[in-house]
Structure 1
């Protein structure tokens, strides 16, 4: 077992203090959430050779400078340009601007991406839960290391898509389409969020949800996703970075062999909260039905793509990050004793994730430990 660097421990303690405050003593001012956000931008954005995907993204940074602006522009219009574009146009454009105009070192790119991602994350979290610090704490391990400090493209794209839920609520179609267009320009997996503008309006009940989830579990061994062929491969083609992801969770072998691991347990926990608190959430939590749709699709996607570590991490993971918000939100609709029990469970699961993550080899491979983590401005 390895010890996380104190910078991460400070963030966890900070979130824990304000989490307890917001759950048991009332809402905390948003400025304290932004203090956390700025701190995380520095820790993730200005890291120095930290994260198992760091080298891959640094190579992409150099690669982006080989592409001309005309090819980037045409790719943004879904047209073929003089040069092939193997990476999404908006991500390449950001890279190229930083290189050509500012001659910026690579850590400026990671800092810019972290600023954009964490801004969207803070706004989404503040708008969709009464317990933002609790939610941020709950998903911090391994989310922060896989996302802001790991697969920065999919992480940024996903949170742009999550940010767009405000436009689903307001029924602003063009604004939502713009969010998905920009998110897809960072990572094409985000295009799977496009139908959500309409899907969240489809009524679901417990019977329908049960049929969908059980059906997905039954279909899991048959690899039905193969019938989609090249479409699925194009969405999740960035498998070199998926190797980095699997290093965080070490579930690839277990998943392929059909065993039950941490992801399956988390799907079971999500399903429990989904069915146990569904009625109360519909009565008391605004737009709960929208969140529920993301949860059901995320769980179904996980089991349908379970035997493929690329699809199950990329396609299902995009929805699962959204899905976890229903767990802290459940505290808003229950009696004080149940609220305390749920909060205790969240803290226990956070501690469990901390211990398990600290035992995985990628905490060392990712250079997140006390002796390996480096930052360009922090001592």
Structure 2
């Protein structure tokens, strides 16, 4: 078992302190959430060779400068050109400007991406839960290390698309389409969120949720996603990052062939909250119905893509990352005693994730430990 660097533990203790206040006291001023965001930006934005994907993204940084600006613009407009740009246009453009115009070292890119990602993260968290510190603490391990510290393109893209959910709520189609375009310019997995502007209005009840989820579980062994051919591969895969991605994945042959592991347990927990508290959430929590659609989509996609670790993490994970907001949000609609039980359960999951993450090779492979983590400005 390895220990996370104290910098991360400080963040966890800070989140826990304000989490207790916001759940059992009064709403915490947003400035304290921004202080957390600034601290995390420093941790992740100025990290030095930390994260299994670090080397891969450094290679992409150099690669982007070999492409012409017009080729990148053509990529944005989906126009074929003589030069092929193999990564998303906006991410390539950010890379090229930083290196070609400013001759910036690589850590400036990670800093810029961290500022953008955490800014969008703060905004969407504030928009969608009354318990931002609790939700952030709940998702911190392993999401912060897989996302902000790892797969930074998909992480930024999905935070942008989560932020844009405010325009679904406001029914501003063109605003939403604009942000889908921007987010997909960072990572093309964000295109799968395009139909959500309409799908969130589809009424779901427990019967339909049960049918959809059980149907997805039954369909899981048949790998029906293969009928889409190269389309899904182009959306979810990234050959330049496979090695780094594998640094996070602890997949066993038994799990992929029908066994039960941590991902399935989390799907079961999310499903439990969906069914048990559905009626109260519909009555008392604003826009819960929208969150419910995202959750059901994520659960179904997870089981449909379960035999493919990349699809089940990148595509289904993009939906599930937002749907977990349902779990802390339930505390808003239940009695005081039930709220205490749910909060205790959330903290137990945080501790469990902390122990599991420290036990796997992920923490060492990502250089997140007390002896391996390095930062360009922190001692």
**Could you state the TM-score of these two structures normalised by the residue count of structure 1?**
0.99
Partner of 1:268: 268
Runs of 4+ in 1 over 6 A off after TM superposition: none
Q: How does 1:50-89 map to 2 (within 5 A)?
A: 50-89=50-89
CA distance in 1, matches of 2:262, 2:41: 28
Moved more, 178-187 or 234-243: 234-243
CA distance in 2, matches of 1:262, 1:240: 27
**What value does the CA root-mean-square deviation take over the aligned residues?**
0.9
How big is the shift at 1:317? 0.7
How big is the shift at 1:198? 0.3
Partner of 2:12: 12
How big is the shift at 1:246? 4.3
Change (3 A) 1:220 1:268: same
Partner of 1:48: 48
CA distance in 1, matches of 2:206, 2:238: 36
How big is the shift at 1:249? 4.3
How big is the shift at 1:80? 1.4
CA offsets, 1:299-339, max 9 Å, x none? 00000000001111111010010011000000000000000
CA distance in 2, matches of 1:295, 1:26: 28
Gaps of 5+ in 2: none
Q: How does 1:185-224 map to 2 (within 5 A)?
A: 185-224=185-224
Q: Are 1:181 and 2:181 an aligned pair?
A: yes
Partner of 1:278: 278
The total of aligned residue pairs comes to: 379
- Give the secondary-structure state (helix, strand or coil) at the position aligned to 1:186: coil
- Give the secondary-structure state (helix, strand or coil) at the position aligned to 2:247: helix
Kept in 2: contact 1:246–1:309 (CA 8 A): no
How big is the shift at 1:46? 0.5
How big is the shift at 1:254? 3.9
Gaps of 5+ in 1: none
Change (3 A) 1:279 1:158: same
CA offsets, 1:91-142, max 9 Å, x none? 0000001011111000000000000000000000011000000000000000
How big is the shift at 1:241? 2.8
Partner of 2:235: 235
Change (3 A) 1:312 1:11: same
Moved more, 256-265 or 29-38: 256-265
- Give the secondary-structure state (helix, strand or coil) at the position aligned to 2:50: coil
How big is the shift at 1:78? 0.7
Change (3 A) 1:107 1:259: same
Partner of 2:330: 330
Partner of 2:164: 164
Kept in 2: contact 1:72–1:81 (CA 8 A): no
How big is the shift at 1:242? 4.5
Q: Are 1:291 and 2:294 an aligned pair?
A: no
Partner of 1:317: 317
Change (3 A) 1:240 1:255: farther
Q: How does 1:32-43 map to 2 (within 5 A)?
A: 32-43=32-43
How big is the shift at 1:239? 4.4
Partner of 1:98: 98
CA offsets, 1:223-263, max 9 Å, x none? 00001101111111214535534433412534322211100
Q: Are 1:244 and 2:244 an aligned pair?
A: yes
